[in-house]
Each structure stands twice: as structure tokens, then as C-alpha cells.
Chains A and B, each alone.
Chain A
Amino acid sequence: MAKIELKLAHTYSTAADPSPEDYALVQLDLTFEQGGAYALLGPSGCGKSTMLNIISGLLRPSQGRVLFDGKDVTLLKPSERNIAQVFQFPVVYDTMTVGQNLAFPLRTRRIEPRKIDARVSLIAEILGLSSDLNLVAANLPADMKQKISLGRGLVRDDVAAVLLDEPLTVIDPLLKWQLRQKLKEVHRELNVTLVYVTHDQVEAMSFADKVIVMSHGKVLQVGTPEELFEDPHHTFVGTFVGSPGMNFVEVQVRGGELFKGDNLIGTAPDLVKGETSSALKLGVRPEHVAIVADQTGVEAKLKRIQSLGGYHLLTVDLYGQEIFVRTDRADSLSEPDAPLRVDMLGPYTRFFKNDVKLPLGGHL
């Protein structure tokens, strides 16, 4: 178990003086505390796999250092770093039983048999594999095999961290949910540092205590799932987290009032009263746009209602721009193109200048 610190940048370019766009990871300073559950969240190409490979030692950063418990491991090979990894697809020996598969990482390290048995039965119990230990792996379904892969990643108690690279990709939605629960239990019971890479916000948010949101090689925000949801520091975080993501509307402040083009949105909150920037955006999540019955709010037009059972997703035209509204009451709203009034200004409305939240780094 270890605390992992990254103080580095990485470029795959071999040029003597690489340009900023050449960096797969822009200069960062990140600490993964011992025993934490972390998710690296971002779209393909954001640098999350590069970061994972730098932690595991498969890749050496072009500048800076990697520290495990304060010790510089930048030059150490993967085998010297004591990291366990779980991949997108199951890595399982088909000819071995479930139990033999789980024991394998311990057996190769010549752990004494009694300790192996104890550890294997603990992991099997947590993952719900106890009654399957004698089954041969070959004919098991994909989700069982991936559970075994998880077990193999977790079975050693001496690893610095367990790195999980999109481990639930091959799993059906319902089983995904169960495996996520299992992973959380594992984390609670084993006190191991877990780093989970995914582009799927549901997986990241439900798994991690801290989520690291990345885009174009940059860490945009490190926060708890609630912080990312309620207080995104960057428009990208607002969009990427939430389902659908935050609505952004370009606004201008004139005479203490907030406008979208020529259309009045409402009274400008104090935070932006004096703001003259032309790169100002209002951000509000679909859950936080209120549909109002009286003459307050802004006039808009209903374009589409999609019912998802628990809630309705409305696509609404707000002065020529489509925004999403999530509501559990849409009974009175059945006509497409029906006029409705929405209130964009509530306690969860945020403002962004050049895509960065106002006030910089602080709270409303």
C-alpha cells in the first residue's frame, strides 16, 4: 500500500523543444492517498491511459518524477513497482479452476500455501465466487471471468495500488451494477489504493471517492462526485459529468440584467453584475432548470418529451438554442411546440468566463 505522487509532464514527441500541443500530459501535481478510491475520467485521447501507464511503469514520463510513499520510483520497471492491474478484457487461464486462477499471482511469488488459501477464500467470498472455486474457467460467462480477473488483481495484499483500466466494458448493464457494488465492498474491506480509468461517468462517480476529470492532457478538476455535479470548475466538467450534461447559454450583462442576445434572461446575480466579458456563459443542469407556471422565468418552446420512467427528458428551445430539462412532472406538457416558461436562475446556476468558473477557484 502506498501513497502515490505524480509531479510530471509527458510528451511522446522527441523534438528538442516540443510545443504545448505535443504534450499528452500537461504539467501536473497529483497525489493519490493510501487507501483512496480514485477514478480518472475523460474521453478517449484525454491522457488518462498515459497517466495509468506512467503509474504502472510501462511508460517513463519525459519530465518530472513518480513517488511511491515519498520514494522516487520514476526509473523503476513495472515489475519493481508492485502494482496490480485489471484490464478491459478478462485475463484468465482457461485450463485452471477459479481457485487456481485466484491463487496464481501468489503462487508465482512463492507465498506459503496456508496464506494463499486464506487469501483466496477471502477474495472469493467478497466477490461471491466461494462456491465456484472448483469450476474450470474455460466455459464460464464473460462476467464471471472478469470477476476472476478482478480477484487476481486484488488477491495480493502487498501491492502499492491496483489499477483498473475500464474493467466493466464487457459486462451487461445489470451485472455492471453488481460488480460496481462488489468493487466498492472490496475497497472498503481491503483498504487498498484503487485507480480506475473510464470514460463512463456512471462508473467513475459510483466507484470513486475522488474523481480526476481530464481533457486534452490537462487535469481540469479533482473532486468528490457531488462537487463535480454541483460545482463544476470548468464547462468541460459540467458537460462531461451529469446525464445529459450541464446546459450552457452565452449571456451578456447590460444594466444589471442578464441577456441572451436581445432576450432578457433575468436579473444578473451580484457575482456577474459588473461583468463585461463577451465570453460569459451561464451554466445550469437539466435537473436544476425550473418549469414555472406563472409569468416569471423565460419564454421557451417544448420540442420533444422523452419519458424514461423515473423522469422525463424535455428538449426545449430557448431563443434558438436547444437546452435539456429533467423533470418528474410532465403531465401537463404533452404538445410538441407548446410554449412553456423556464427559470434558469437558481441556487445551482453557475457562471463561466472563458470556460472557467467564476469566481476563479471559489464558490458562489
Chain B
Amino acid sequence: MSTRIPVNLVLENVEKRAQGDVHIHSVTMKLVPGEITVLLGATQAGKTTLMRLMAGLEAPTSGKIFVDERDVTGVSVARRDVAMVYQQFINYPTKTVAENIASPLRIARKDNIDRAVRDVAERLGIEQYLQRFPGELSGGQQQRVALARALAKNASLLLLDEPLVNLDYKLREALRIEFATLLGGRDSTVVYATTEPSEALLLGGYTAVLEKGRLLQYGPAQDVFRAPKDINVAAAMSDPPLNVIELDVLGNEHRFVREISSVLERAPSDRTTIAVRAYNLHLTPRPGDLGIHAAVVADEFTGADTLLRVTSEIGPLVVQCSGVHRIASGTQIELYLAPREIYVFARDGRTLLYPTGEPA
């Protein structure tokens, strides 16, 4: 079996420019060996570019990349121990599934190839297709073959670039739940790019939030989720969209503003922005909750949750509640919110003021 140790990858002031455009703005990050790091960001945020830099498929314009404390800046991918899985699954069409999975092992002249192929195929639930050709399989099965090949290679760095994006919803759902187990606790350092905050949360590990080529925040997924350093990170970690309320629009005398005074203690009076996640607004009160008067604009059942769009005394809001709730447009409702679930940002959302320190 493998004696591989997960790679210790460090990016130091890595920048990538092309044709006058800056694709990556001076990123410094140290991947945690043996853990999953999720690169979370919208399309064009720089996720793929950053991965290509990590893999050695591209060289940075400036800055340095270290692997196990060795400077590998400019060392090509062929000379690094990297496996990559792309959005578009890539398999050898004329080779069987077993041969596809075995190919990196044959190149590396490994022993016990059949056994290794069978092991990884079983983990991914494709052992019954080993003698078939990729073209005979469904999209989800083909992507599992590509993933199995990458896992079989047992590289010290495994990069996955939105590997589920082209799969059916149900397959995506099943695989993203399994991935936490499949990819975690292994002897590879794993980097996983996605546009979906729920994937970052399900995979756990570490999350790096990217926006327009900048690294906004990097840390354990739950920390980034609970204590976003600014409103852009909070928004990137929210689906459905974050509710943002500009307090100076409401004014200091507004009932709601007075009632949340306890969480505003540290906030300067100028341009304070608060944010509330859609599922922190409830239809039934719990002890200590604040009430917000609202009227329903539209209800939207999304398959397991209901999203309510409402107008309220503090502006338009989106509310997410579990299960089916049909509420006619125009109905007056009361929403409930725990003050400790409010995020307070200063100066147009640039700094998180509340909660401070460890979340309650």
C-alpha cells in the first residue's frame, strides 16, 4: 500500500496576469496537508486559474509556490505528483473502465494493480462496470470513472474543478454527500472548486472564498461560515441570497434598530450594515426572538424548503423555512429573529463587528 504523505503546498504572493488583466491578485495561502480545501466563488472568480497554478499547469507572473518547502515555481505538472478531475469528465474511450482506472498505475509501474483498481471502484460504486467501456455508461458513472482514476493515482495533491457541475441534480446530491467521506481522511491534500456554498459546508475541511481573483477569506469551513470577515464573504456563503439591511436608511429611532441595540454596541453610527441569513428568519418565535412585521409577496417551494419573499418594516427580505408553507400574497405575517444571528458590518460591509470572537 501507499506510503505517500499528503503534500504541503504553500502559495506566497502568487499573482497571475495575462494580456494586461490581473487574473489572480497576490494570493498567499498554506494548504493544510491531508485536508480538503474548497475554493468557493462565482464563475470568473479565479478558481480554475488558482488550481492550474497549484498543479503547475501555469506559472505565476510573480510570487512563489512551495511543495514540501521546496520551491517549485515554474516546475511543470509532469514533474509534480498531481491528479486532476475536470468539469468535463475525460476518459479513454477505447479502454475499459478497469483499464481507465489502471492507466496512472501502469505508467507508475505499480504492483497489485488489479487489486487497487477493484478497491477504488468499490469505493465509488462502479465495480460492476469494470469491463464496460466509458461510452456505455451514464454521465454520472463516467464522472465516477474519471474520479476513480484520479483517486487510484493516489497523488499527494488532488485537484477537482467543479467535478459535479455537469451531472444530474440527483447524482450531484448523492456524490456531494459521499465526497466528504471519499475525499476526507486520505493521504492526499485535496482542493475542490465550486460555485455552491452548500458544497463547501457538506465537504467540511477548509474554505477559501474567492472574488474577482482575490482571496477574501481562508479558514475552517464552519469558521468562515459563522464569522465572515466582510459582507462579500457572508454573501458568498449564502444561498438563497443574504438579506442586507442598511441601518442608516432606517434611522436610529426605528423600532427594530432600537431593539437590536445590544448587538450594535460596537458599531459606529455611520453606515452600519446588517445581514441576516434567510433561514435565520422564522415563522414561529423562540425565547428571546425579535419580531418583524412583514407581508408576503411570493412563496416558492423548492423541493424541501419554502422560500418566502416578503416586504417588511426593515425592507424586502427572503425567508427560508423547512417543508411546505403556502401563504397567499399580501398576507401579513410576523417573522422572528434571534439577535445573536444578526451580522453587523461597519463601513459599507467591509468589516465584521458582530458577532465577535467565538460564536455563541
Q: Do A and B come from one complex?
A: yes
Task: Please give the residue numbers on chain A whose beta carbons come within 8 Å of chain B beta carbons, in ascending order.
Answer: 43-45, 142, 172-174, 177, 180-181, 184, 199-202, 204-206, 225-226, 229-230, 239-245, 285, 287, 304, 306-311, 313, 315, 326, 328
B302 contact set on A, CB distance < 8 A:
201-202, 205-206
Do B168 and A205 have beta carbons less than 8 Å apart? no
Known contacts A184-B298, A304-B181, A44 near B170 by CB under 8 Å: no
Interface-central residue, A180, A245, A310, by most chain B CB under 10 Å: A310
Do B198 and A308 have beta carbons less than 8 Å apart? yes
A44 contact set on B, CB distance < 8 A:
138-139, 168
Q: Specify which of A173, A229, A239, A304 is in contact with B239 (CB 8 Å cutoff).
A: A173
Other A-B contacts than A205-B302, A308-B201, 14 sampled, CB-CB below 8 A, are A173-B197, A173-B239, A174-B42, A174-B241, A177-B240, A181-B309, A206-B302, A225-B303, A242-B304, A245-B170, A287-B304, A309-B237, A313-B177, A315-B177
How does the 8 Å CB contact mask read for B131-160 relative to A, with 1 for contact and 0 for none?
A: 000000011000000000000000000000
With the chains together, A326 CA to B305 CA distance in Å? Answer: 12
Enumerate 7 A-B pairs (CB-CB under 8 Å) in ascending A order.
Answer: A181-B298, A199-B169, A226-B301, A241-B303, A244-B177, A309-B237, A310-B277
A313 contact set on B, CB distance < 8 A:
177, 202
**Nearest-CB distance from A231 to chain B (Å)?**
11
B201 contact set on A, CB distance < 8 A:
306-309
Do B322 and A328 have beta carbons less than 8 Å apart? yes
Do A199 and B168 have beta carbons less than 8 Å apart? yes
- Does B206 touch A at the CB level, under 8 Å? no
With the chains together, A355 CA to B307 CA distance in Å? Answer: 31
With the chains together, A112 CA to B248 CA distance in Å? Answer: 49
A43 contact set on B, CB distance < 8 A:
168, 170
Question: In the complex, which residue of chain A has the Cβ closest to the Cβ of B322?
Answer: A287
Interface residues on B, range: 35 or more
- Does B62 touch A at the CB level, under 8 Å? no
Question: In the complex, which residue of chain B has the Cβ closest to the Cβ of A245?
Answer: B170
Do A172 and B43 have beta carbons less than 8 Å apart? yes
With the chains together, A171 CA to B241 CA distance in Å? Answer: 15
Do A174 and B239 have beta carbons less than 8 Å apart? yes
Task: Please give the residue numbers on chain B whose beta carbons come within 8 Å of chain A beta carbons, in ascending order.
Answer: 42-43, 138-139, 168-170, 173-174, 177, 180-181, 195-198, 201-202, 204, 222, 225, 235, 237, 239-241, 277-280, 298, 300-305, 307, 309, 320, 322-324, 326
- Our count of residue pairs bridging A and B at CB distance below 8 angstroms stands at 107
Do A306 and B202 have beta carbons less than 8 Å apart? yes
B197 contact set on A, CB distance < 8 A:
173
**Nearest-CB distance from B307 to chain A (Å)?**
7
Question: In the complex, which residue of chain A has the Cβ closest to the Cβ of B194?
Answer: A173
A242 contact set on B, CB distance < 8 A:
303-304
**Nearest-CB distance from A342 to chain B (Å)?**
17
**Nearest-CB distance from A248 to chain B (Å)?**
14
With the chains together, A310 CA to B204 CA distance in Å? Answer: 15
Do A229 and B304 have beta carbons less than 8 Å apart? yes
Do A310 and B303 have beta carbons less than 8 Å apart? no
With the chains together, A243 CA to B277 CA distance in Å? Answer: 20
B303 contact set on A, CB distance < 8 A:
201-202, 204-206, 225, 229, 241-243
Question: In the complex, which residue of chain A has the Cβ closest to the Cβ of B325?
Answer: A226
Do A205 and B170 have beta carbons less than 8 Å apart? no
B301 contact set on A, CB distance < 8 A:
205-206, 225-226, 229
**Nearest-CB distance from A242 to chain B (Å)?**
5
With the chains together, A244 CA to B169 CA distance in Å? Answer: 11
Q: Specify which of A142, A200, A304, A309 is in contact with B225 (CB 8 Å cutoff).
A: A309
With the chains together, A242 CA to B173 CA distance in Å? Answer: 10
With the chains together, A117 CA to B181 CA distance in Å? Answer: 56
Do B307 and A206 have beta carbons less than 8 Å apart? yes
With the chains together, A8 CA to B279 CA distance in Å? Answer: 44
A204 contact set on B, CB distance < 8 A:
303
Do A243 and B173 have beta carbons less than 8 Å apart? yes
Question: In the complex, which residue of chain B has the Cβ closest to the Cβ of A43?
Answer: B168
Question: In the complex, which residue of chain A has the Cβ closest to the Cβ of B172?
Answer: A200
Do A229 and B324 have beta carbons less than 8 Å apart? yes
Question: In the complex, which residue of chain B has the Cβ closest to the Cβ of A180?
Answer: B300
